[in-house]
């Protein structure tokens, strides 16, 4: 008698207590350090180390781009869209953050450049948008449409990114908040939108920051739901990364440039990308495939596993049982169908 091929074993189960502790540390640890630095001025001196800044930002951006490339590769062939949008979120943060490194004063450029201040908050704003899209509920038909045209979405993202970089370096004067961000005289934050906010009287910086935090938090909640279907170290890493991105978002917008508290957000971005990249590396070493990194996390994949495991032995057993009683013929199949419909709902 034949059976269906056995599936590769899943990853080691995520230990819930350790995960909760790690999430709490990722959220509260940097926050406590930041509050301490801002509460004691002597602990928050100005530390303008341009060369070190160039290298730490470049490293964070490169790690983020590598992680994004792996996630986007893993999204190929999937019939859901959330992995693709998560990959675009990582790609947006890493790629838009990169000009912040290239514009470091006295490293590659001899003078300060607007991209130094505009790129960090913009990177997290766009990244938060795609993380939010990855957590959004879609009906089946619309999601199939998004999956069908995902590479068109990717192409549109690329065109938008190229346009952003060109405008940033060719026509920097049109970027919002440029006049308020050169040097430490701007005070708190990068001034992303601060000039705009001063003109309109609208608290743009707090509004953007709040929207980004909500989008990241929505992604975290959705990823927690995915963990209920299957333990996944990669999804845990995405959750921890999103938590670190929330901290980085808040710190970068309210800390004075070049001060010790300002440096924390650079470390958080590097840590967020690093934890995702490390989880992806472990998963690839286990499976040696990109396409299986997110398997078993969607409802449709769960239904497919049930169908795959409904092998010839089970079918023969059901046929033998129903052959003894014509009245119950088809009962097992109907129960299976109803159970699948209930589980899907």
When pLDDT is averaged across residues 26-50 and rounded to a whole number, the result is: 89
Contacts of 105 (CB under 8 A, 6+ apart): 50, 111, 112, 113, 116
Q: Are residues 192 and 205 in contact, defined by beta-carbon separation less than 8 angstroms?
A: yes
Least trusted range by pLDDT, from 16-25, 198-207, 247-256: 198-207
Residue 8: other Cβ atoms inside 10 A: 12
pLDDT value for 183: 42
Residue 185: both structure tokens together: 């005289």
* Distance in angstroms (rounded) separating the CA atoms of residues 221 and 26: 16
For 76-98, b/e burial (b = at least 16 CB within 10 A) is eebebbbbbbbbbbbbbbbbbbb
CA-nearest of 280, 264, 337 to 306 is 337
**Band of residue 14 on the pLDDT scale cut at 50, 70, 90:** low
Residue 137 has pLDDT above 60, yes or no: yes
User: Residue 160's pLDDT is what?
Assistant: 94
Question: What was the pLDDT predicted at 64?
Answer: 96
Q: Whose structure tokens read 């935090």?
A: 213
Q: Which is more confidently placed, 203 or 337? A: 337
Any idea what DSSP says for residue 293?
T
Beta-carbon contacts of residue 227 (< 8 Å; ≥ 6 apart): 14, 235, 236
Q: Average pLDDT in the 134-146 region?
A: 90
In sign, the C-alpha dihedral spanning 132, 135, 138, 143 is positive
Q: What is the pLDDT of residue 190?
A: 57
The 8-class DSSP code of residue 50 comes to: H
* Radius of gyration, alpha carbons of the chain: 24
Q: What is the mean pLDDT of residues 159-188?
A: 64
The whole-angstrom separation of Cα 88 and Cα 82 is 10
Indicate the range of 96-110, 127-141, 211-225 predicted with least confidence.
96-110
Convert the pLDDT of each residue in 325-344 to its tens digit.
767 777 877 887 787 778 76
- Report long-range pairs for 182-189 (Cβ below 8 Å, ≥24 apart): 182/112, 182/114, 182/117, 183/112, 183/257, 184/46, 184/256, 184/257, 184/258, 186/117, 186/257, 187/256, 188/253, 188/254, 188/255, 188/256, 189/121, 189/252, 189/253, 189/254, 189/255
Q: Report pLDDT for 214.
A: 95
pLDDT at residue 253 is higher than 90: no
The predicted-structure confidence for 66-97, as pLDDT tens digits, reads as follows 999 999 999 988 888 999 999 999 999 999 99
Give me the pLDDT at residue 198, please.
46
Task: Tell me what pLDDT residue 187 has.
Answer: 40
- The answer on pLDDT for 224 being more than 70 is yes
The pTM assigned to this predicted structure is 0.78
Helix extents (H) in the chain: 16-39, 50-74, 82-102, 115-135, 140-148, 150-170, 194-200, 204-229, 233-254, 260-287, 299-309, 312-323, 331-344
Instruction: Report pLDDT for 229.
Output: 75
Our CA angle for 43, 44, 46, nearest 5°, is 130
Q: By mean pLDDT, which of 14-18, 19-23, 77-81, 84-88 is the weakest?
A: 14-18
Higher pLDDT, 178 or 290: 290
Structure confidence at residue 12 (pLDDT): 44
User: For the residues 109-120, what does the mean pLDDT come to?
Assistant: 75
**Which residue from 193, 329, 314 is spatially nearest to 252, judged by alpha carbons?**
193
Would you say 256 and 184 are in contact if contact means Cβ atoms under 8 Å apart? yes
User: Residue 24 pLDDT > 90, yes or no?
Assistant: no
Q: Are 8 and 287 in contact (CB under 8 A)?
A: yes
Higher pLDDT, 310 or 102: 102
Quick one: what percent of the chain has pLDDT higher than 90?
Answer: 38
Confidence of residue 155 (pLDDT cuts 50, 70, 90): very high
> Which residues, listed in sequence order, are joined to residue 105 by a DSSP beta bridge?
109
pLDDT in tens, 269-319: 999 999 999 999 998 888 888 877 887 666 555 555 556 555 666 777 777
């Amino acid at each position: 008698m034949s059976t269906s091929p056995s599936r590769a074993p899943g990853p080691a189960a995520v230990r819930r207590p350790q995960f909760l502790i790690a999430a709490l540390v990722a959220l509260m640890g940097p926050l406590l350090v930041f509050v301490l630095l801002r509460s004691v001025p002597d602990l928050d001196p100005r530390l303008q180390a341009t060369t070190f800044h160039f290298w730490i930002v470049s490293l964070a951006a490169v790690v983020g781009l590598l992680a994004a490339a792996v996630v986007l590769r893993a999204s190929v062939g999937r019939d859901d869209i959330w992995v693709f949008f998560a990959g675009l979120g990582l790609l947006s943060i890493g790629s838009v953050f990169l000009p912040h490194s290239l514009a470091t004063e006295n490293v590659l450029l001899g003078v300060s450049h607007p991209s130094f201040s505009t790129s960090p908050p913009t990177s997290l704003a766009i990244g938060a948008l795609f993380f939010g899209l990855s957590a959004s509920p879609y009906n089946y038909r619309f999601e199939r449409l998004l999956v069908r045209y995902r590479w068109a979405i990717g192409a549109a993202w690329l065109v938008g990114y190229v346009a952003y970089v060109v405008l940033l370096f060719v026509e920097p004067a049109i970027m919002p908040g440029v006049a308020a961000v050169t040097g430490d005289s701007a005070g708190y934050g990068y001034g992303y939108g601060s000039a705009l906010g001063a003109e309109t009287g609208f608290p743009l910086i707090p509004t953007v920051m709040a929207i980004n935090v909500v989008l990241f938090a929505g992604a975290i909640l959705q990823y927690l739901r995915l963990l209920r279907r299957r333990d996944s170290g990669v999804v845990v890493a995405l959750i921890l990364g999103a938590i670190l991105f929330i901290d980085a978002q808040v710190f970068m917008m309210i800390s004075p440039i070049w001060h010790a508290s300002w440096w924390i957000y650079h470390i958080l971005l590097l840590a967020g990308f690093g934890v995702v990249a490390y989880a992806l590396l472990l998963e690839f070493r286990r499976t040696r495939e990109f396409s299986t990194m997110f398997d078993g996390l969607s409802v449709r994949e769960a239904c497919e596993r049930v169908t795959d495991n409904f092998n010839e032995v089970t079918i023969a057993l059901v046929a033998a049982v129903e052959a003894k009683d014509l009245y119950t013929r088809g009962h097992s199949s109907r129960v299976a169908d109803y159970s699948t419909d209930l589980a899907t709902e």
